[in-house]
Structure 1
Amino acid sequence: MTRTWTCIYHFLVSSWYIFLNYYISQKGGRDQQKSKIFLNGGQWKYLTLLNLLLQAIFYGVACMEDVLKRIKGEKDIKFMTAFRDLLFTTLAFPISTFVFLSFWILFLYDRELVYPKALDGIFPVWLNHAMHTSILPFTLAEVILRPHCYPQRKKGLTLLALASLAYISRVLWIYSETGTWVYPVFAKLSPVGLTAFFSLSYIFSAGIYLLGEKLNHWKWDCIGTACIFFCWTCGHFDLLAPSHITKKKGRRQEIGLQPIQSFLPAQQWERKDLLQNVLPTHR
């Protein structure tokens, strides 16, 4: 997909998520039944709605990065590109995938645990699928659309853990202040059960993070946070940021390559340990 179409895509998806956030907030203020749902913590107590806000922010940043890249060039917006990748890899992809999987698993098991039938008369079916279904195709499309630089695994999982801890702390604080749980499933669990549930949820989301890393590697043929590009003309290897490499019809294509570092001629790369020694320095 060309950069122009990528920018248009990001703009449309960003607009969609902005519309959803606006629609839910406006309807919540006008409809008395919806207002009751948002009592004791407001609409931002729900992970689903926090995820919609997160996706709107991410696609807005992605769209802005696309525009600035065309105006200023890649060198002048490295910070925004790095922020875009960090936001997607550590939060946008894991959380949206977690919301999709956890919601539908619980919904199919017993919908009263997460989305009581009474909500069908308040939220239309299309809105339910917009909040819990379409989020997965959008996030998978982003994985396929462009490569993303993943941070060090420890750093990425730590940021995800901090986000998870922040949400869990808010859920517990709301319960301590109001005596009501954000989701009905929490009321069914003992303190030990809650601890196990929250721990398993983080392990599940960490697994999703690692899955995203593997998908990025599979689609864009990346090693860690960088890609190896071989120049057949000069016989040198270059270590490139994933945003500069793509694959088309089984061949690597050059897209404004800006090597991070050039290495020795190919004949000196016979030992695999040389590659392993070089890559960590760029993580």
Structure 2
Amino acid sequence: MATVSANTWNRGIFLALRNLVHLIAAVHFWFGILFDFKYVYPPEDHPAYKPLTSFGGKFRYLTILGAIFQAFYFTLCVVNDFIGTNEHHPKRPSKLRTFKDYIFATFAFPLAMNVAISFWSIYAIDRELILPKSFESFFPHWLNHVMHTNIVIFILLELFTSYRQYPKRKTGFTGLLIFNILYVIWIHIIKYKSDRWVYPILEVLSLPQRIGFIVFIGVFGISFYFVGEYLNNKIWANELKLTKSSGKKHK
């Protein structure tokens, strides 16, 4: 009896901490986004001033789009914590829960991993190709980590602490593929409108190199859908088996 009470108590603490992490993550990302849009602008004589205040603005950056998806996803988590369900095997999963799981699988996890790994990899090679040193005068270090480091920390915490069912691969993967194609179209529209590439690295590449780079980054980005699905199936293998068997019983 004491063991059951202890287990119940421990589970209650775990759930409370997980819900707190959801709230912290949501506030953390929304604050970073709002701070960025309100305060983070270069002086008018800085080369980045015109791009950031012209067509596309900050919505040209995958970093910002990724942060918005993180903020939106963790807001869904908070709402689900209060009015939805986090049961592993509900008889009827709510639409909110299903939608939340879809956003994680299709956008939140792949974009977080893609943005962080791509950014820090290029940064390690030559930071001037992704975040020039001159940006330090107006782009604070802490915000850089909110956008490019903490996204991985929070999304991995979520992967390991919250059970989810991935959507059908055709549905989830197609959503991510469409997003990536639209983003490639988007940065070319910005190039056409402003005569300037969104990322400095694209300026120094020849046409064949640029095509190869975009294709590589695109394939790299969408591959994280399968990475997330694989990790989720491994981490939650027992719960997924129980969900399948439970689903058969209710048919």
Q: Indicate whether 1:50 and 2:65 are aligned.
A: yes
SS of equivalent to 1:261 = helix
Normalising by structure 1, report the TM-score.
0.75
Match of 1:215 among 211, 225, 231: 231
1:3–1:66 Cα contact (<8 Å) kept: no
1:113–1:184 Cα contact (<8 Å) kept: yes
Distance 2:49 2:120 in 1: 24
Gaps of 5+ in 2: 1-10
Normalising by structure 2, report the TM-score.
0.84
Gaps of 5+ in 1: 230-237, 241-258, 264-281
2:233–2:240 Cα contact (<8 Å) kept: no
Q: Indicate whether 1:228 and 2:241 are aligned.
A: yes
Cα-to-partner distance string for 1:70-128 (whole Å, 9 max, x where unaligned): 6xxx6676111010000000100000100000001101111111111111121121111
2:165–2:240 Cα contact (<8 Å) kept: no
SS of equivalent to 2:241 = strand
**In terms of Rg, which structure is larger?**
1
SS of equivalent to 1:135 = helix
Letter in 1 for 2:52: F
Letter in 1 for 2:72: I
The answer for the alignment partner of 2:175 in structure 1 is 159
Identity %: 28
Match of 2:190 among 163, 174, 195: 174
The answer for the alignment partner of 1:261 in structure 2 is 248
**Which segment is superposed worse, 37-46 or 164-173?**
37-46
- Structure having the larger proportion of residues in helix: 2
Match of 1:239 among 240, 244, 249: 244
**What do you get for the CA RMSD once the two structures are aligned?**
2.6
SS of equivalent to 1:38 = helix
SS of equivalent to 1:16 = helix
Runs of 4 or more, structure 1, over 6 Å off, are none
Cα-to-partner distance string for 1:139-189 (whole Å, 9 max, x where unaligned): 100100112211222322211110001111110000001101110011122
- Structure having the larger proportion of residues in strand: 1
SS of equivalent to 1:81 = helix
Name the structure, 1 or 2, with higher relative contact order (CA <8 Å, separation 6+).
2
2:42–2:138 Cα contact (<8 Å) kept: no
Distance 1:215 1:5 in 2: 22
1:89–1:148 Cα contact (<8 Å) kept: no
Alignment length, in residue pairs?
234
1:90–1:209 Cα contact (<8 Å) kept: yes
Letter in 1 for 2:168: Q
1:4 deviation in Å? 3.3
1:10–1:60 Cα contact (<8 Å) kept: yes
